[in-house]
Amino acid sequence: MLIKNILTQSPMSQDVEIYGWVRTKREMKNLVFVEVNDGSCFAGIQATFNEPDETLANEFASLTTGASVKITGKLVASPASGQAVEVAAVSLAVLGKAPAETDGDIPAYPLQKKRHSLEFLREIAHLRARTNTFGAVARLRSSMAFAIHRFFKERDFQYLHTPIITAGDCEGAGAMFQVTTLSAKEAGQWAKDFFGKQTFLTVSGQLEAETYAMALSRVYTFGPTFRAENSNTARHLAEFWMVEPEAAFADLKDNMDLAEEFLKYIIKSALEECADELAFFDTHVEKGIIESLGQTANAKFTHVTYTDAVRELEKNKSLFEFEPRWGCDLQSEHEKFLTEKIAGGPVIVTDYPKEIKAFYMKLNDDNKTVRAMDVLVPRLGEIIGGSQREDDYEKLCNRIKEAGMSPKDYSWYLDLRRYGTAPHAGFGLGFERLIQYISGMANIRDVIPYPRAAGQAGL
Ligand code: 4AD
Ligand code: MG
């Protein structure tokens, strides 16, 4: 039985078997306490050996932090504070040792200390899930992924699998990883390549999601996306997971409402389903995070146009490293200022200048701005980016050309505007940014099991 189930479901005096990894051992005269964790929940369980049998002496010797064990005994009320139950243990088997000292070729188990730096743990990513922090992050990720599917299922969005390998550049950003089987000598001879043309890892499933939204009305994708941006920041990865809903017969207002409802739903799920994990993050990672998430879950998000946001930032320009100016992208410091200082909560910024947004966004009547929306949150800045899509054939053709691309390459995408076009809108949520926001973890590399970022692709 998993420790989670023993702690929540087993009746007292029941005989139990526990399996897990030793966190700590304390030996006293005639008494040995072992704390075992199996990762099924935040808490571990204590096994107490009272006057242990001498035949167990060997086993106790190899019962060190990190060793895997099987312990049997009876579930009893615990006299110790901080735990309701413990196991009055009768048998012990060490299944796999984890030496505390270097032993021949095997270095000592690296997780000896109670607290290691996150930087150190990044170097042993294959073992870091055994720590409180990374165990909590992993369970939070799993729970949030499930909540995301539930949210969309409850609203009749169909889950769509969009391709990972693509020939198009969705964001027009040019920061893509190439996929090729050509040898170095054949480089550039795309006709000879595996697909007969140049291909890449996708930066977003959006364009393909649009084709299905224009048939099934409501769809969403949830998959890995790849960006070869060389930005070495605490919020960028080269491989990250994105959730992208797309709805037909929907405009920017519907899109903003969906994004707000979505974020609040996910945060409430975290507060309800990951209470132990959040209590840990609140104490050890970001003080007050539970209260601030509670506020976000109940707040009305502030709406502001890009133009008004820039006006507000200009009034405070002495505070910024990058001067805010109409036409320039908002920097992370600007986004944080808008959420933390002006709104005191999440902000949805809309109607950005067309020059700084992707070609597919619907042009406003002013011919200068597009129906874009970015959802910004305190501590992090942008967590969601989306828009109403251009549904007019001519206008979309022009935007493709203006972006230096060829309408021929997007003929399938343009077909959606040729045949049965309709207003439609969608957005993308960076899953790791969401986990950062909910956990308070400062670096995005610590909220994905195996981070891929510029110069970093080890296990
Ligand atoms: O704003 P972005 O680039 O929007 C799109 O890709 C659209 N196609 C989405 C859509 O409308 N369907 O990315 C969406 C979100 C960002 O708000 C951010 O949370 C996250 O994806 N994101 C990243 N997360 C981690 N590392 C990166 N390099 C990221 N780039 C974007
Ligand atoms: Mg964006």
Whether 389 lines ligand 1, by a CB cut-off of 6 Å, is no
Q: State if residue 384 touches ligand 1 by the CB under 6 angstroms criterion.
A: yes
Closest ligand 1 atom number to CA of residue 246? 12
Helical segments of 286-439, H only: 289-298, 306-314, 332-336, 393-402, 411-418, 431-439
- Residue in this structure with the two tokens 């011919």, named with its chain if needed: 367
**pLDDT one-digit tens code per residue, 353-382:** 999 999 999 999 999 999 999 999 999 999
User: How much is the pLDDT for 441?
Assistant: 98
Q: Which of 242, 350, 431, 433 to mutate to test the pocket of ligand 1 (most atoms within 8 A of CB)?
A: 242
Going by DSSP bridges, is the β-strand pair 381-388/239-248 parallel, antiparallel, or unpaired? unpaired
pTM for the whole structure:
0.96
Residue-level pLDDT at 191: 95
The model's confidence at residue 1, banded by pLDDT at 50, 70 and 90, is very high
The residue whose CA has the least distance to atom 19 of ligand 1 is: 430
- Distance from C-alpha of 202 to C-alpha of 241, rounded to nearest angstrom: 11
Please report which ligand is nearest the Cα atom of 242: 1
User: Is 451 near ligand 1, meaning CB less than 6 Å away?
Assistant: no
Which atom of ligand 1 is closest in space to residue 203's alpha carbon? 6
Residue 93: pLDDT over 90: yes
Report the distance separating Cα 373 and Cα 352, nearest Å: 8
Which residue has its alpha carbon closest to ligand 1 atom 17?
384
Q: Of all protein residues, whose CA lies closest to atom 27 belonging to ligand 1?
A: 236
Encode pLDDT of 331-350 as tens digits: 999 999 999 999 999 999 99
Q: How far apart are CA 140 and CA 274, in angstroms?
A: 6
For residues 396-402, give the mean pLDDT.
95
Other CB atoms within 10 Å distance of the CB of residue 287: 12
Q: If you search the block for the tokens 């808490």, which residue do you land on?
A: 43
Average pLDDT across the chain, whole number: 95
Residue 390 burial by Cβ neighbours in a 10 Å radius (0-12, 13-18, 19+): buried
- CB-based contact 156:143 (threshold 8 Å): no
Are the C-beta atoms of 449 and 257 separated by less than 8 Å?
no
Q: Which residue has the tokens 């001879």?
A: 189
Distance 196 CA to ligand 2 centre (A): 31
- pLDDT for residue 168 is more than 80: no
Instruction: Say yes or no: CB of residue 432 within 6 Å of ligand 1.
Output: yes
Helical (H) or strand (E) element with 241: strand 239-248
Tens digits of residue pLDDT in 275-325: 999 999 999 999 999 999 999 999 999 999 999 999 999 999 999 999 999
The answer, yes or no, to whether residue 172 has pLDDT greater than 90, is no
pLDDT in the model for residue 121 = 96
Arithmetic mean of pLDDT, 388-408: 95
Starting from the CA of residue 222, give the closest ligand.
1
| For range 237-263, the mean pLDDT | 98
Distances (CA, A) of 260 to 297, 330, 350, 427: 9, 21, 14, 11
Q: Is the CB of 205 under 6 A from ligand 1?
A: no
Task: Give the closest residue to 306 by CA, choosing from 244, 368, 377, 383.
Answer: 368
User: Span 67-87, mean pLDDT?
Assistant: 93
Task: Please report the pLDDT score of residue 169 as a whole number.
Answer: 66
Of 228, 234, 199, 242, the residue nearest 457 (C-alpha) = 228
At residue 171, the pLDDT reads 67
For residue 428, list its beta bridge partners: 385
Q: Closest by alpha carbon to 326, among 317, 318, 203?
A: 317
Q: Is 201 helix (H, G, I), strand (E, B) or coil?
A: strand
Element (DSSP H or E) covering residue 276? helix 275-284
211-231: per-residue pLDDT in tens?
A: 999 999 999 999 999 999 888
Which atom of ligand 1 approaches the CA of 227 most closely?
Answer: 28
- In this structure, which ligand is nearest to the CA of 225? 1
Give the count of alpha carbons within 13 A of 289, CB side only: 26
Cα 63 from chain centre: 35
- Average pLDDT, integer, range 30-53: 95
Q: Is 330 in the pocket of ligand 1 (CB under 6 A)?
A: no
